[in-house]
Structure 1
Amino acid sequence: KQGVKEEDILIETKSLFTEENLKNAKEVGIENGIRTYTIVSDPLHMKRAMRIAKHINIEAYASPTPTSAYKTLDTEIPF
């Protein structure tokens, strides 16, 4: 939110998993004239999110969070 006006932030809240989130976000973007997206996610999850975005034709930029809730691959696998 640093430097971004609150009214310029669009949030998708209906999805339960990554692919659904990206598809819903794409629809929100289309409704608001958005052509590029910034995906903010856990660093361990970012590659997967970016692959899904590419698969569904979303032009996206990665912005991984500075820290991760997951310390090992074993803790991320259920994610």
Structure 2
Amino acid sequence: MTQNLEIRNTIKDHRLRYWEVAEQIGISDSRLSVWLRTPLTDKRKERVEEAINELLAEVSKKTAKEQRSCKKSKNILA
């Protein structure tokens, strides 16, 4: 059974990359892969989940900004 399946699925489902999560934590992508191969300590799990949440918040902000920009462009063209 693959370790940390829930975290792996969250990364995959939100179309994040391991290197993005690792960078957000402040570790290398290879170190994150090592972490995910074994049961995470509570502290490491918290760090990974926090990084994922921060990345998702950034994506949400970018998406909202792009949507506003797109609406403005449509109004200008109309």
Q: TM-score, normalised by structure 1?
A: 0.24
Higher share in helix: 2
Q: TM-score, normalised by structure 2?
A: 0.25
The one of the two structures with greater contact order (alpha-carbon pairs below 8 A, sep at least 6) is 2
